[in-house]
Amino acid sequence: MTKIVVVTSGKGGVGKTTTSAAIATGLAMRGYKTTVIDFDVGLRNLDLIMGCERRVVYDLVNVINGDSNLKQALIKDKRVDDLFILPASQTRDKDALTLEGVEKVLQGLIELGMDYVICDSPAGIEKGALTAAYFADEAIVVTNPEVSSVRDSDRILGILSSKTRKAERGEGDIPARLLLTRYSPQRVERGEMLSVEDVQDILAIELLGVIPESQAVLNASNSGAPVILEGESDAGQAYEDAVGRFLGEDRAHRFLTANKKSLFGRLFGGQ
């Protein structure tokens, strides 16, 4: 049984692609056959984050239009077995992304025996985002602890509860879980940043994970390796925890508190 998961947020730049790459890689590392699809037609970037930009020959729209078959377009990851990338096209014609076409692609991935298909949604609430979410069985809502991101996430939750295929068929809301990224416990303790509890109070959905603001994320995208492969880094470990929770494991949340300074440092050091 293939599970289709949309990674979405409404707002741009909050970490959807970083998250899609990390979660897909984490699932494949555990032996689940996984494909991650870039739905951001016209602005593809998942290929860069996954480090396979020079291996792109065919893309999602090529498959939909019948220019290539699915197997030709899938890029097999060189580091992790069971991990495949389906890039977005760079064409500006967004109408190429039809629901029928996407359904056909997903059907093909189901027939290839995928355990998980991760759909990396574009920002916004336009057709691309709606198409990425339409067939999903489950959603990961990526949010920054910041007012515009939280508000947009709430809008996306509203859309998820009415505009997916399951919602249209009257099968109810798909489960949506919160992934809070770029979290800075130091700033939360100083009262400068919404805390994880604040965001949960407002969005009222289950917490999948908290990814700390980390240098490792930029390092990972610089080198084209999903951050979850940086097993030593805080962000890599936080994503690994999130993958565990995604699969139903009970894992305590880490990286939620700042490293305590000495009394001297706290009295005189300021911040």
> Does 270 engage in binding with another protein (CB under 8 A)?
yes
Which of 72-80, 95-103, 183-191, 221-229 is the region at the interface with another protein (rule: CB under 8 A)? 183-191
206 burial level (CB within 10 Å; 0-12, 13-18, 19+):
exposed
> Does 201 engage in binding with another protein (CB under 8 A)?
yes
- Least Cα distance to 182 among 147, 231, 215 occurs for 215
- Strands 3-8, 138-143: pairing is parallel
> Does 251 engage in binding with another protein (CB under 8 A)?
no
> Does 200 engage in binding with another protein (CB under 8 A)?
no
Question: Which CB sits closer to another protein, 10 or 26?
Answer: 10
- Give the total residue count for the chain: 271
179 burial level (CB within 10 Å; 0-12, 13-18, 19+):
buried
Question: Which CB sits closer to another protein, 79 or 155?
Answer: 155
Distance separating alpha carbons of residues 56 and 63, to the nearest angstrom: 13
Question: Which CB sits closer to another protein, 67 or 173?
Answer: 173
Interface size with another protein, residues (CB under 8 A): 25
Distance separating alpha carbons of residues 208 and 213, to the nearest angstrom: 16
Q: In what order do the strands lie in the sheet with 116-120?
A: 75-76, 83-86, 34-38, 116-120, 3-8, 138-143, 176-183, 206-212
Question: Which CB sits closer to another protein, 111 or 198?
Answer: 198
267 burial level (CB within 10 Å; 0-12, 13-18, 19+):
exposed
> Does 268 engage in binding with another protein (CB under 8 A)?
yes
Asked if 110 and 35 touch (Cβ cutoff 8 Å), the reply is no
> Does 193 engage in binding with another protein (CB under 8 A)?
yes
Q: How far is the CB of 260 from another protein (least distance, A)?
A: 14
Draw the binding track, 131-170, toward another protein (x: CB under 8 A; -: no contact).
---------------xx--xx--xx--x--xx--------
Q: How far is the CB of 238 from another protein (least distance, A)?
A: 21
Which stretches of the chain bind another protein, using CB under 8 A?
A: 146-147, 150-151, 154-155, 158, 161-162, 188, 190-195, 198, 201-202, 266-271
